[in-house]
A and B are shown apart, each in its own frame.
Chain A
Amino acid sequence: MKSLIFKTASSYLLPLLLLFSIFILLRGHYLPGGGFVGGLMASIAFLIHSFAFGLKETQSIIKINPGYLMPIGLAFAVGAAIAPFFVDAPLLKGLWFEEPFRFIGMVGSALIFDIGVYLVVIGATLTIIFSITDTV
């Protein structure tokens, strides 16, 4: 897997795929996509990078241990779920900002929730794969 073409390609692929995964995440509410798919795409992006450059390199790019993404993601999801409590609404009720944001579109608690899912999926998948490659 140390071919030059693969290395060069994957170093460009990583940011592209990550960007794509965020795009997929954000448009999920209106077009096919969403947190699950986005998270999986991002994981694949990192996986491809680690194939080309080795695990150490990829880990140094991510900086933090992917395991930490799981609690952060869960916190996002739970936060979005209990946010309606503060305005006296039932659990998980969708709350929305009145006006759409530029580039992103409508932002609401559902999007925060989806971001949580996205982070959990990346965290879980990368944890699984890294702990395997680590010991192979």
Chain B
Amino acid sequence: MEILLVVIIGFLHAGGLYMLLRRSMFKMIIGLILLGNGANLLIFLLGRLVKGNPPVIEDGLKVFTDIYADPVPQALVLTAIVIGFGLQSFAIILIKRVYNVLNTDDLDELNSTDEEI
């Protein structure tokens, strides 16, 4: 299963990069989100895969008695997801705003607009 996840991580990165290189801002954001997902999955995978044993101490016990999933990557990814949301929403609003002002979705047309705004 790990191998399959590795393949998916590769796919997510490749797809994200490809979309990032497009001229349309919309596609760029899609790329950004794909890359984010890939990175999250990558970090998560580094904590190894453990089935059915979340890092939650059972009631009545004070320490883990069974194996448990690594909590550190989970905490990292959780933070990354939320921050990623902030970034994505900002990017989404940005393209909308740019479109409102300049009436274009094409990144290359943004090169010489300093004086227009």
Contact = CB atoms under 8 A, between A and B. Distances in A.
A and B touching (C-beta < 8 Å)?
yes
Contacts of A31: 56
A36 interface: yes
Interface string B64-88: 0000000000000010001001100
* Central interface residue in B54, B82, B96, by most chain A CB within 10 Å: B82
A90 B93 CA distance: 40
Interface residues of A, number: 10
Contact of A128 (B56, B78, B82, B93): B93
B89 interface: yes
Contact of B54 (A32, A121, A124): A32
B3 to A, nearest CB: 28
Interface residues of B, number: 9
Given A36-B78, A36-B82, A124-B86, A132 B93 contact: yes
Chain A contact residues, majority secondary structure: helix
Contacts of A125: 85
Chain B contact residues, majority secondary structure: helix
A80 B54 CA distance: 27
B82 A121 contact: yes
Interface string B91-106: 0010010000000000
A131 B54 CA distance: 38
Interface string A3-40: 00000000000000000000000000011100010000
Contacts of A30: 56
Interface in A122-136: 124-125, 128, 131-132
Nearest to B59: A30
B36 to A, nearest CB: 16
Nearest to A121: B82
Contacts of B85: 125
Interface in A103-136: 121, 124-125, 128, 131-132
14 contacts: A30-B56, A31-B56, A32-B54, A32-B56, A36-B78, A36-B82, A121-B82, A124-B86, A125-B85, A128-B89, A128-B93, A131-B93, A132-B93, A132-B96
